[in-house]
Structure 1
């Protein structure tokens, strides 16, 4: 179980180095992670000891508050070692930033009191909420709750019926672990089988008013006054939509780096199929493929890390700077990072890796499945693929 002991101060460099060391051990545990549908309890304990679940928890409540760029680099490192583990970790730990930005001091004190805050979230509405004295009673099942196996909380959305022909209104809520049940419904998918993206069922859970917020997380107006700006550093007033979608680019870079590692291993261990028969490391064609993919992946990493820095810079400038157009522009950088990474793997590495490298259980086969699965994420496959382009144009020309 997650501990609640106070973490000693750690520098960003120390935390990233620790994540890289843990990630190196995850490579050989990918198969068992998929079989279990989430990473091992020992890995979870290592994350706890390293303070990785507290990276984005505000210092005011006992966290490390090491910032968005450090979090991005940690997520890349873990995903490079095991895409499923990186996905599970990121979407469990990322929402400390959301809580620290959108909720008031009382709610934050109560929610962050667990110490290591792990809170999967979904934006698709489900279930129901009934108004009662002091809050709401929530019921329902929410699917694709990545990070659920080790979660301390869950953040979901539901629609509140208004009656009299009025449209229902969205409600965001946070409930603690004792208020929900983990469903056994993950692991049969094409990829990311170890990402712990289980369903969560909430039954008659009382949610106090201050643990809820009207509206969708994806539609938060960051130009408005957000509680986190008054409580913490400027990043707790940054754009929720753009950060949420940049996460997909961060994950893609980590996955592609893992694919490049696997390809490099193949180059070292195998020879060419056609004359002259030489180690692949000495063959000009394999050298070209490796170099081409390296450049694409490095460009994607540079783009997404710079986009995270831009996100932080906008947050530092204050709410007026974080317009919908700026949020969408940053999110689209994340999309382009995904595209670059996929082109590197799909166009350069996969065709020349060899069929034996994509047998079931091989590292290259697994990362191929996982990157394919990434494209099925609604944020990438639906919103960033088309809707975001139109919304950005409308925002730019004052049509929103």
Structure 2
């Protein structure tokens, strides 16, 4: 009887697949008129669609002229609104065109699901009026987002601490950096909050509280060598970032040499975000194969989802000297049945100078045998060539980096793993 089970499951799968195709065909027929309308209309010029009408309860306006001029257009399937039900993250591919430069691919993000955005509206209304619905624009001026309007000079830690991962433990130096590099104002370059317009302050604070990813990309820009996608601008609740390339997941079964190169870059990212000349440690709390992408031309690995990043100011930690600040902190390995799970304490990440979290996250969730994603196991460095497998050094370093057996073992294993991968990559990439 058991031998017939796979056959039955196969038939069931084919039936479900057929039903899905038929259902999709019926939906297409029922939406034929809307289908043609969608392809003819550029909804990115519609103020209500991009929710520009909700500003300053939005992410910015620096790219509105480009949107309104029709320079930004959805790619093919992105124009079909009935497919939004499958696009839970509200991430779209689009084309951006400059008259003299031609068009290029970009990524548009609403920075949250439709429900999360609706929840934000309700919270703003409830805080301002006590009701779930209200005039959102008027309500913004009665919330904490308007508290700093007027002649307030600085954005200070006590105002925004804990609002999001980015400012879980903010220093004045970090907040000055965020304000100085804020791209949604014409007068960027000053750390003085009073130089921003009232609406710009509210937009900055709402972004900081709801989804600080745009501020991470602006404060630690790719132009300075940080491994993040380039921030382009925003209009209403639509943010534009540079298209990097295919997700890291697409390279799970790439040739061995390619996977080694990608693994080496991932370990370099862990090192750069942990130890850099700026003395800011950026800890990645959400590490999975779909949060990284690979450039099609240069093969460079880039972080494409920077919402969950804790930034710790090492200079502040050394100055304030909290308890055990100079004791090396080892992240605790915790095997779980879910994909891309990590164990961490934000408070500890914010109070230690030397932390191995980024190496732990990269090794456990991406490189080692503990990494699982979409049903695949073994990590990015699965199935090494026979001579590498026989040597055993790679497996030993990956195991110690993910689940160390010795005290401070991950610190040493991370360093040796980077060196080992560098040797495997060779002098030329």
Q: Please give the TM-score of this superposition, normalised by the length of structure 2.
A: 0.28
**If each structure's helix is expressed as a fraction of its own residues, which one has the higher value?**
1
When Rg is computed on C-alpha atoms for both structures, the one with the higher figure is: 2
Q: Please give the TM-score of this superposition, normalised by the length of structure 1.
A: 0.30
Higher relative contact order (CA 8 A, sep 6+): 1
